[in-house]
Structure formats: structure tokens, C-alpha cells
Structure 1
């Protein structure tokens, strides 16, 4: 009989032993520069043991599921033929038809096909050759057990290397490594003798597996009945629930003043899970800092304000009356500057945006703050520097923030956010809804309003037409409106309605996605011109980020340059603005054009103000960039500071020296913004 207890004891004991060894190694690592009391040692090893036990229970779930569903009953007639028929139908669907999985792109369809093919092959072999069932099941069990041992060993090595680099368990940097897979794998291949390391790791894992599974083949000779499996299942579920509670309790004891104690008693996988959900990275802990007072004095000079530890408000006073014009902000998915004619593109992909650029205020030297949609949405909504880790949009406690929507709402504007997909994606509904926006997403569409949709949402034409109808309704109430529209069509799988552009809708090419989105923008303006509210409306078009951010540098500047246009015939004069501009400056510049007077908490500036100092703030998840005077300062974890000299064509050359004054400006921007975030000073008081 398969004894579920035995595999659990083996996996759990191995994980706990390896965790203990790792904890001892980390404790005596040169990086662990600290003295510990007897109580500290007790916490490290006792709470550490409980943490490792709890995780061992949770990770066993995959093996438990596999062993639970091993049975001979599925090979009895007629169930065996039903299952075989279902496999045949499923394989036919996956290999002969276009499936829903293909909309996800990448390797998802291949993974699904491979998995189903293996399961179908395994079932067929066991059905046709009953004599090999015991041996086959043992081989599969051996392989799964080996994977557990290998992954546990691999994780130990990863945690050791991560600790030596950062002196902590996994945090959002580790999550970042998963996001930037190509760059990380390249770095690992260059940094370590990866083939010998993996060869030794595989060999050790195989030997450990053989040691643990000696004599286990007999377990598959007598399969347990349903009653035994049910009892085992109930016991495991209770253990699983209790493990979650234990881990939550242990988390509360990470309260020592000594960071090393907290980190050593913790479990790396739990920290990884927390980092993935929390998505933040502590600036003060990992990046270069200045005395806080000095940081604020630098900010005062750069932004002409009097911000301090207790105040982050600056009065913006315009001498002319405010203009209560409607504002429509369109953030365009993945629209790199180099898709536009003005930036040298000769493929006529963006004829409508090119026309708008010639008829409006066109920013020719604007840089996105990041390389994700949520980072772009953050920059035009909160107008602050990008913080290390994930965008504030995906974090908790991000409601009632000082935002562009808040400024419009205070003036009686109808404030709305439009998204063609489901707004739960990337936490959009929670963020925009929590900051006073009315949400119009795919759930708001009637069936007849959708002509085409893919995995990301309705096509851009449908989204713009929905927005037009809602703007028509807004205008009937005689109050101004602010509508923020996020496009989706210029995104993999790059599918769109047929017959709209001269690129086939089956090509699934980036060029097709760009050209269709541009086409939809042209139709949007064409329809808007027919409305009475058009002459009283300002249109703002800006990319959320570029189509690609990969480069040999940490922050390749040419992959962060984006187009931005403010368009309003008769109000905004055609002009090209060539100074460096950050994405966070776009909306404050618009407020200047509308002569808004307000108390600002924005780092973004009106670029036409005489005090404006051209600079751009650019970041990845962990690299924080500051571009000014043809120099790029890059701040990294471990208090690392680098400088690149930038040519006119955005070529970057690493500098052997650091401009200390510019480095301090970079630090002051990110450090003070982090201070305001941590102290809830970007949220509105008296909500």
C-alpha cells in the first residue's frame, strides 16, 4: 500500500535538515556582521525550525495530489474508454484548432500541449500494458521525488548566493530576477561555472533520491482504497491549514532590532512569496542615502519648494483665470518613440499620431519612468519618481492619494478611467476606484458594443467608441469631464479586426499592433470632431512605456524615450518641445496650460515655468536612474552608484568618475519620495 506518511516524512525531514544547515552557514557568513545573544540564537533556530516545517507541509501538496490520484479503477470499463476518448478530443482540439491558450502567446500553448500529450501517453501505456503499471508508477514517483530534492538543493544554493550579495533572505529583487529572466540567466552564465555546478547538483540529488527511495517500489504493489485516501486527505488538509497559521504566527516574531536575527529565523520561500505580493523594496535599507535634512535642501533647489519632513505641499499660483476645459488623457500601450516619423521611422506606422504631433504641443525628448503599464499609469496619475520595487498601483494602501484625478474632482469634473480589459488586472480597479475615478472596463460593455476582443480586452476602436458615447452623456450635464483611457491593442498577441489597415490581422506582428492602435486613434479624433464638446476639450496622448526595455546597459535610455502630445486646435499652438522631460511632468504642464492654481505634492513640473530644470527619472524594478545634463546616475541596491555619459543620440558610456553633486540630486529625489510614501504624506488628509 502507498503510505502517504512515508513520502511526507522523507520530504519534510530533508527540507528541515537542509534548512538547518543553511541557517548555520548564513550565521557564520562574513556578510553576517553582528553579535548575537543567547535569546537571539534561540529565536533563530526555534522559530526557524517551525518556519521550515510549515513550508515543508505546504510544498508537499503536489506530491500528495499525485499519489492520491494513483488508482486502478480508472482502467475499468467503461471509464477507461471515456477517459481515453476525452484525451483524444482534447489532443485534437489542441493540435488541430486555434485554442484560447494561443492568445497568451509565448510558450504557454507548447507547455499545455506537452503536458496533455504526456498524460495521454502515460494513460494509454498503462491501459494497454497492465504488467508495467507498478514499474511505471515507481519511475514517475522517483522522478517527482528527484525534482523535489533537486529544487530544494537548488533553492539552498540560490539563498546562499543571494545572502552573500544582499545580506537578506529573498526580497523583491529575487522576484525581479524572475521578471528579467533573460538578463538574469545571462548574468549567471557569465558569473558562475554553471555547467559543472548543475552537473554536481543533479548527481547529488539523484544519490539522495536513491537513498530515500530504497525499497519504495513495493508501495505500488497494493494501492490504498478510497477510505484510506480519504483519511490521509483529511489529515493532510488539517496539517496544511495548521502550517499556514504557524507561519503567520512566526511572522509576528520577526520583530528584533537586529535585522540579521529576523532574516535568519525567516524562511526564504515565505519571504519570496511576501515580496511577490507586497512588491516593495525598502529604499533606506538598500540604496545610498543622505542626511534627510540635506536631501530636502537639495530638493528645494531643484524644485523651488520648501518641502521638509513635515511638509510636502507647494503652492502653484497662476495669475490668469482657470480654464475649465474637458481633458481626455490617452495612455498608449507600448508606443516607443521610434515608431513615429519624427524619430526616424520610415514605415508609416503612425500617420495619425504624426499628424497630431504636427498640430499640437509635441514633446520630442520625453522619457518614461519605467517599463510596465502600471509604472506609466502611476507617473501620469501621481506625478512622482518611480519607487524601487513595484509601482504603487499594485501595492496596498494606495487609495485617497494626491493625484491628477483628485485635482480635477475638486474642480467639479467628472473623473473616469477607461480600460478595454478587465480592470482587476494589475490592480487597476482597486487603485483608480480608490482614488475617486469611475471605472469603465470590459464589464461595462454590452455585447453589441464589442466588434473584436482578445485576451487583453476589446479592441481600441471599441474602447474609443464606448468612451465617445460616455463623453456625449457627460456633456449633457454641463459639467467638465476628465477621461483617462488606457489602450490595449498594441500588445501581444497583436490581434485586431480585419480590413482596417494594410497589415494582415493574422500576422500577429508588433507593426500591425502599432498601426492598428494609430488607426483607432485617428478614428477617435475623427468622431470627436463631430461632437459639440470637441472645441472645449484638450487631448493628451502619451505612451505608457516603450515596446522593449532590453539593452546591454541596466537602463538603456533609447528604450525609455516615448512620444507625448497635447492637442487642442485653437487652444494649444503647434510646437516642438525639445528639452528633456520626464513622464511625471506631462500633467503638471497641462495644468499650467489650464492656469490651475493648487497646492501641489507632485515632483512633476510645468516645463514652461521659468524655474524648470530639465531632468528625467527612469527606473527598472531595482535600478533607479536620474538623467540630467547628458549624464545618467544609476542607483542600485548595496548603496551602489554609477554614472554614464550620454551622447546626443542617447549612446551611453560608463564613466570612471561620479559627479557627486548630480548623484546627490538623484539620491535626494528617490530618498525624499520614499520618505513621503512611508509616512503616508502622498495621501490626502481628512479623506
Structure 2
């Protein structure tokens, strides 16, 4: 069967795909972010099962290549068949160009893509039909272009996977799907972050070189194309390969089940992981996760939330003192890992202002981010809920009119705004915050003269802070308190910022520079704020949205979730360290407690200074949901999997115990049922209340 012989383009491209992925695995294996050791068995699984998975992905994904090779023939150009086929193609082109088709129902660019495809097919068929003397050369050119496209996809995907790993330490996941949705911003970020011209030239040179070699090696395939009988036999074999591969791919994906997360990621195929993430933007909790009887789950919740009853989280928060109507400014800082600060052991001194501010502030030293994306941090401080599986509430359609920090502050007479230096369309922020009572001030609100520097993510933090000061001055004139939430952007790749502000050039595009400029901009903000009449009546809350990196040896590496959080209000807040274990979702209820707010609450977040608070923290990826409590990390995952780890703090010389962020996660042979049930109860009831809209305002 000629289509499966060694000079067949199908076989050559299959071997190339396997080889490229093997090289990619090797590169990722030795990448600095891959912070793990691998034993011989893991290495063997990474390459053998990984390559087998790659082959199956190729069989399924090469359907268009197979059809192209299958329809290479001279007989279809013989009269009258050739003329009939050409006439059909012309009529089809007219139809898709001038009439309403199914493609028009989907809208977007799909109709134009359909027209272009049919037009190219018609033109190519016409050339091969009416210019038989050049048919051999034309076919070779079209064949070379087809091979080039497939090789380009393979090479470009490998390069993309490398850069995705470089950023996140994993194969494609929901973030990659988001990147596909927000194409303009992501492409702009790539253009500003990497030397794209040399990169694209390199990809082009490699692709052209590989294409030349493949065409040269397989050219004889075109000289004598397979007969119909041989094509039918080959198609039977190909069909069997596809039928075996369809269940085989997910089966091999399940075999990536090591305790070493890096080993699992290296064994996996990024294309398959992207397809899975694309198909599963939401996970129904009851279908995919371990559950308890509903009454039992809510009974556990009611024990944790004193005053709540039945299938609800609603309870009365009653203060024993008069409410204090201070302004509140919440600043969520992009990617501010705890270990960027000196107290956590950083020796680069890239946060001099934050370091000094922390000494004058109430500092929460044992606070964990709920997730590893900005939308998770925004969800946590706005809705004060444990992270939901798959997509954040921020990104969901049912994301409006929720019980939120905005709702509580508005009921207390506060003006409420959300500030973002970029376009709030990104990550669905505009829809979410606008739908939950916030007035939005984003890049679209800036006059040209108000922008001194911008990159693909938006205006620099200094410009954002200047705008915020203007808005707060206007709010203060209205004689009503304000709650303003500011989201920073400068500590984000490509890490560019105005020159001459710090001692690290913006052209270096380094993470350290991004962090130090973010710190510098915060200093300028406070310098401006201190001059305003409302400053002395304002509580400033600074917290990270998430850490700078989320990859690690385990599903939930705790050091990648530990973030700084400080409350600064001279004369109101006494500077001290609070080492109570807490989560991002507890921050705003704690601030409300400090202001002695009385209100009806649906928050899962709690005032950590309250008498009924039991220290715990939530951490999660898009599918692994965790609870930290009593030095145990409980993780529940899809397919109703459960794991527990004993947390053993790893000491680092020169650090106070409260700033130690590294823990050895020791798997527990025997599960702690009480902690497991509590973990399930939190996540199960959250999912239920969101689904039934009982967390709406």
C-alpha cells in the first residue's frame, strides 16, 4: 500500500510529528521552570506513552491530509468528468459568494473563509484542468505548499508550547483557550515580549528546510499515484487507525497519573489538552466531583457559618460597635508573589516601597490566593467565594447581580468604582463589574494627554493612579464615602514601562523590572494620596491577584499561591503581623469587620478576627480544588478523585517562621474523612448556590 510506504508523505509527516514532540519534551524536561527530578520509569513513560499519544493525535488530526492524498488523481481531469466537476465548483463558488448559506448563520469571518476556500479550490482545479502541459509542475507546487502548511503547524505548535510552558509550566489549558478568544491582546503581548522577527524567521527557515527535504524524499509518490483499489485498501487501514485512536487518546491521557505533575504534563500532548480545555470551559460539580448528600453538605456549611440555616449561606453579620464610614481603596497588584518581598527572603530589593509600607501596616502573612489567574483573584475579592471548577464566575454568562462587596458598600451609601489601565473588555471584566454595580474607569476613559506610556496591556500604573486620584477627588467633593477597586497591569509580560523611573531599563523586559516599576508606581500613588484631604479618612488594602508562576511538583504547590496582603490606614490600623491562615476570599469581609459593618451576608469569606472563624484557605487550578486546614491539603479533582497531603514546613535560614512559604506535601495513605467532607461541602454548596442563583444579591 503506497500510502503507507517509507516514501509516503503520510508516513514521513507522522515520523516528523513524533520527532518534533520528542525534541519538545526534551527541551521542556531541562527547562529551568521544570523543578523536579524524574526516575527511569517516569522518563520511559514520558517518551513511550507520549510518542504513542502523539501518533494517535496525528492519525485523527491528519484527516484533511489523508483526503488530499486520496484525491490526487489524473482521471478526474479527463473529459467530461473534469468539465462537470469544474462547473459544479463554479456554481458552488457563486452560491457561497452571493447567497445565504449555513456559514452566514454562524457569522464572524466564517463566510469569508468559506468563500476563500472554495475560490482557491476552483482556481487550482481549473489550472490543472485547462493547462495539462503544466499539470505536473502545478501539482508539485500545490503538493509542496500543502506539505509546508502541515510542517508549519507542527513547528509553530512546538514553539508555542515552549513559550506557554515558559510562562505557566504546563501544557495548554484554559489559559490557552482564553488566549485564542482574546487574540488581539495576546498577539500584541507576544509582539512586545519576544523578538518576533528573528523568531518567525527561524520558524520559517526551519519549516522551509523540512518541507524541501520531505518533498525531495516523497516526490516519487507523485510520479505514480495509487490506483483506486489501493486507495480503498489504504483507507480501510487508516479508518482502523482512527477508530483505535479515538478512545486510545483519552486512555493514554489518563495514564499520565504520576504524583509528579511535571511528568504528567511532559507525557501529555498539548494539542489534546487544548481540545479538552476548549470543550470543558465549565465543569458541572455534581457530575465530575465527589459529592455528599445535599443536606449533609449544607449541615457542615451551617456549622462553619454561625447563623446560617438550611440550604443557604445567608446569615446576619452583627457588629457590637458603631459603623465607621471610612473610604476604602482596594489595590489588586498583578502577579505579586510573596517571595518578591524582602521579608519573604528576596535579596534583590525590588519592592523597597512595599517593604517599608508593610512595616507601617497590618500585614496578613499567611494568606493564599485562590487561583493562578487574574479573574480568580478578582472573583475572590469581589464575590468572596471559593473558586468554582473550570471557568471563573467572571467569565461566565451568569455573572451579574451577585452578592458582592460592591452590593454591601453601596447599601452603606458608598460610591463604587473599578479602575483598570487596559480595556476592561479583556477577561470579561467590563461585563462582570458593570453587571455588579461598579462604575468602570478603564483605558477608554483616558484623554490622550493623560497617557504618558502604554503597552498592549494598557496604560502604565502611574497613569492609572493619576486618573484614580482625580476620580477620588471628585468623589470626595460629593460628601459620600467611596470604595474604589484598582487593578494594576505593569507587572505583566512584556514588562515594559517608562524609562528613567527605576534602575532597571524598561528595554530589559525583565520580571524584576516589572515588579520594581510596580512598586515605584505605588510609591507615587501614595505620595499623591497623602496630599489629598480624604487621605486620613481612607483605608488602603493592597493584595496580589495571584502569584507570578503557578507551576510546581504537585497539583497545588502552595508556595505558588502565597501572596502578600497589607492594610494601611495611619491612626486607624495598628501595624502588626497577623499569621492566621486565611484565603483571598476573607480579605474584604475582614475589612468590613474592621469598619464594624452590620449586614446580611452570603459570603463564604469570613472576618478572620471574628469569634467563629476557623483558619482555612482555598487554593485551586481550573480543575483541582483544594482546602488547607490543620496542616493538611485536601484536593478534589474530576472523575471524583481525592488526595490529601500532610504539610511539612521546609525551613529556610534567615526567615521568620511566618514568612516560610515552602511546604513538603507528603501524600497521606489514610484520608482524614472530616477534612475531606468539609472540602466537598464548601465546593459542592458553592456550585449549588451559584447554579440556583441563591448567591445573587
Identify the TM-score tier after normalising by the shorter chain.
0.5 to 0.7
Q: Could you tell me whether the CA contact under 8 Å between 2:192 and 2:456 is conserved in 1?
A: yes
* Corresponding position of 2:284: 282
- The secondary structure found in structure 2 opposite 1:541 is strand
How big is the shift at 1:390?
1.3
Q: Could you tell me whether the CA contact under 8 Å between 1:369 and 1:560 is conserved in 2?
A: yes
* Corresponding position of 1:576: 577
* Corresponding position of 2:267: 187
Q: Which runs of 5+ in 1 are unaligned?
A: 1-9, 16-49, 73-98, 126-131, 167-172, 174-179, 199-267
The one of 656, 659, 674 equivalent to 2:687 is 674
Provide Cα deviations, 1:288-336, integer angstroms capped at 9, x if missing partner: 1111111111112223242422x33110000211111111100000000
Provide Cα deviations, 1:88-120, integer angstroms capped at 9, x if missing partner: xxxxxxxxxxx9675453686566546777999
Once the two structures are superposed, the pairs formed by residues 471-490 of structure 1 within 5 Å of their partners are 471-490=472-491
* Corresponding position of 2:375: 374
Q: Could you tell me whether the CA contact under 8 Å between 1:278 and 1:396 is conserved in 2?
A: no
**CA separation in 2, counterparts of 1:461 and 1:68?**
56
Q: Which runs of 5+ in 2 are unaligned?
A: 1-61, 68-101, 128-186, 227-233, 651-662
- The secondary structure found in structure 1 opposite 2:295 is helix
**CA separation in 2, counterparts of 1:59 and 1:627?**
51
- The secondary structure found in structure 1 opposite 2:402 is coil
| Shift in alpha-carbon separation, 1:560–1:158, aligned structure 2, 3 A | farther
How big is the shift at 1:460?
0.7
* Corresponding position of 1:527: 528
* Corresponding position of 2:665: 652
Once the two structures are superposed, the pairs formed by residues 109-508 of structure 1 within 5 Å of their partners are 112-113=200-201, 157=245, 160-162=248-250, 185-188=265-268, 276=278, 279-309=281-311, 311-508=312-509
**CA separation in 2, counterparts of 1:329 and 1:69?**
60
Q: Could you tell me whether the CA contact under 8 Å between 1:279 and 1:394 is conserved in 2?
A: no
Provide Cα deviations, 1:29-76, integer angstroms capped at 9, x if missing partner: xxxxxxxxxxxxxxxxxxxxx9xxx9xx9999596576467598xxxx
How big is the shift at 1:409?
1.2
**CA separation in 2, counterparts of 1:59 and 1:625?**
46
**CA separation in 1, counterparts of 2:517 and 2:324?**
34
Provide Cα deviations, 1:458-505, integer angstroms capped at 9, x if missing partner: 111111111111111111111111110000110111111111111111
**CA separation in 2, counterparts of 1:408 and 1:395?**
24
| Shift in alpha-carbon separation, 1:66–1:556, aligned structure 2, 3 A | farther
Q: Could you tell me whether the CA contact under 8 Å between 1:101 and 1:108 is conserved in 2?
A: no
* Corresponding position of 1:664: 677
**CA separation in 2, counterparts of 1:471 and 1:500?**
25
The one of 672, 683, 687 equivalent to 2:696 is 683
TM norm structure 2: 0.66
**CA separation in 1, counterparts of 2:536 and 2:243?**
61
How big is the shift at 1:397?
1.3
Q: Could you tell me whether the CA contact under 8 Å between 1:588 and 1:606 is conserved in 2?
A: yes
Equivalenced residue count is 507
- The secondary structure found in structure 1 opposite 2:604 is coil
| Shift in alpha-carbon separation, 1:66–1:493, aligned structure 2, 3 A | farther
How big is the shift at 1:282?
0.8
**CA separation in 2, counterparts of 1:466 and 1:324?**
23
Bigger mean CA deviation after superposition, 374-383 or 343-352: 343-352
- The secondary structure found in structure 1 opposite 2:608 is coil
- The secondary structure found in structure 1 opposite 2:635 is strand
Provide Cα deviations, 1:563-609, integer angstroms capped at 9, x if missing partner: 00111001111010001110100000000011110000001000001
**CA separation in 1, counterparts of 2:239 and 2:119?**
18
Once the two structures are superposed, the pairs formed by residues 11-26 of structure 1 within 5 Å of their partners are none
| Shift in alpha-carbon separation, 1:186–1:151, aligned structure 2, 3 A | farther
**CA separation in 2, counterparts of 1:154 and 1:356?**
61
Q: Could you tell me whether the CA contact under 8 Å between 1:585 and 1:606 is conserved in 2?
A: yes
**CA separation in 1, counterparts of 2:525 and 2:338?**
21
**CA separation in 1, counterparts of 2:123 and 2:363?**
62
